[in-house]
Each structure stands twice: as structure tokens, then as C-alpha cells.
Amino acid sequence: MVKTVKIIFLFLLLIPLAAQENTFTLVTEIWPPFRISDTPRDCSSCGIDIDVINELEERLNARIDIEFSPWARALEEIKFGRADLIIGFAFSDERAEYASYIMIPYASVEPVFYASTGSGHLIGEYGDLTGKTIGISRESVYFEPFNSDGSLKKVYFKSEKQILDMLALGRIVLAVGTNPNMAYDIARFGYRDQLELTAYKPGTPTKLYLAISRKSPKIDQFDALEQALREMIEDGTMEEILNKYR
């Protein structure tokens, strides 16, 4: 009888351990239409990335808990292994030092510049960016040579909303971002009549990836994550998700 009780007790102890082994923490920020709501368990159309995460949970028989924070803080959480996963992650050599990329892009966005309505035509090529104050989201990457161009007058903000607010107020001359994200925000914040695309379009798509912190205790799950994401793309599930938000 005592032996039976011990076995049951050990089994009960193992249940939470098994649950922990199958639970990931993913950190990100609100970024429509990829992450529309910060209550992803309570809505059916919370964004492209939320749908991707939900599908991965099913395929991996795992739980992925989502924590929302400003993007710069999210990167810190990944860098120091305080979170396991990050999504909607553009590639850079610097980021690859602390995050292991699943090198299968599941989506892409288009780098764009916005200006006050009536002045977009003044920016027709990359050289026209010189001398202009450009609002940029802190810790974001877009395209080269823009990312590494230290000669440009970049003004950093915590969020794309702050960038758009400052552009609408005339505090900056240009805003850099990606579409469909920036167009989505311009519409929902009521700036359609005040802001317009510039004539200059970089034309270089920014590929988006899923990545896991190199310091995550779940790093041994890399292959399983890669396989699940690959299958989602090959069987058409990823395209179905993208079409839902087009």
C-alpha cells in the first residue's frame, strides 16, 4: 500500500513537470495585422502571427504563452533567455548572435516611407532621404543600406503610432515602416487624409521569421518547431492564414 502511494505521488509530481516541458513563452508586441489584439485567447481573428502560434500549438501538442511588451524590451527578453520564442522577426547578423532563426520565412512585408500629404513626390529616390528627419521604430530593421546608414537623421520612437503622430504634427519629415502594417495603422488612427506614401519605394521585401532564444532551455525543440512550420507552408495552411487578413 505504501509503495502504491509513493508511485501515485511521484506520478502527480511529474504531471506539472511534463506540462512545463511542453510550454513555451513567446514575447512580441502589438503589430497589426500580424498581432492585432493583446488578448489572443479571446478572439478568432487576432492577427496572422496569433493564428500561426495557435496552429503550432496543435501540431506540437504544446502550449505557447504570449507576452506583449514594447519591441525593444521583447528583444531583451530573447537576448537573455527570459522568453523562448519571438515571431515576426526580421533577420540581422546582430540578432542572430542571440536568437536561432528558423530560416523558413513564413511571410514578408514591404519597407515604405510616408510623408505629409502633398509632399510624398519630393522623395523619389534613396538620396532624397538625406537631411530629412526620419521617424523609426526603436530596434527595428528594414533594408540595406538604410539599416546601417549612419549619415541619415533617424529619430527613434517606441512605437509606430508615436511615429505617425509625430509625422502628422510636422515634428518629423518622414516615417519609415512596413506595409501592410503602417497602412493599417494610418487607417485606424485616422491619418489617411494627412499622410501619403512617398514616390520612393525600396522594393526590397523584409522576410519574417520565427526564432528561439539561444539561451532558452527549449532550444532542443528547434527541429520540431522547424518541421511544424515547414509543414504549415507546404500543406497550404500558411497561405490560408495569410488570405484571411488580405
Q: How far apart are CA 203 and CA 206, in angstroms?
A: 9
Question: Structure pTM?
Answer: 0.78
The answer to whether residues 176 and 136 touch, using CB atoms and an 8 Å cutoff, is yes
The answer to whether residues 56 and 225 touch, using CB atoms and an 8 Å cutoff, is yes
User: What is the predicted pLDDT for the residue at 246?
Assistant: 77
User: What is the predicted pLDDT for the residue at 22?
Assistant: 86
Which three three-digit cell numbers place residue 137? Answer: 521604430
Enter the CATH code of domain 109-197: 3.40.190.10
- Is the pLDDT reported for residue 178 higher than 50? yes
30-70 pLDDT tens trace: 999 999 977 766 676 789 999 999 999 999 999 999 999 99
231-246 pLDDT tens trace: 999 999 999 999 888 7
User: What is the predicted pLDDT for the residue at 42?
Assistant: 66
User: What is the predicted pLDDT for the residue at 21?
Assistant: 65
**Distance (Å) of CA 215 to CA 63, 79, 84, 98, 99:** 19, 8, 8, 8, 8
Enter the CATH code of domain 2-108+207-244: 3.40.190.10
Peptide bond into 111 cis (omega under 30): no
Domain boundaries, the chain: 2-108+207-244, 109-197
Quick one: pLDDT band at residue 170, thresholds 50, 70, 90?
very high
Which three three-digit cell numbers place residue 165? Answer: 503622430
Are domains 2-108+207-244 and 109-197 of this chain identical in fold? yes
User: What is the predicted pLDDT for the residue at 74?
Assistant: 96
Q: Region 63-87: what's the mean pLDDT?
A: 96
Q: How far apart are CA 52 and CA 240, in angstroms?
A: 11
Quick one: pLDDT band at residue 16, thresholds 50, 70, 90?
very low
Which three three-digit cell numbers place residue 124? Answer: 523619389
Strand, helix or coil for residue 141: coil
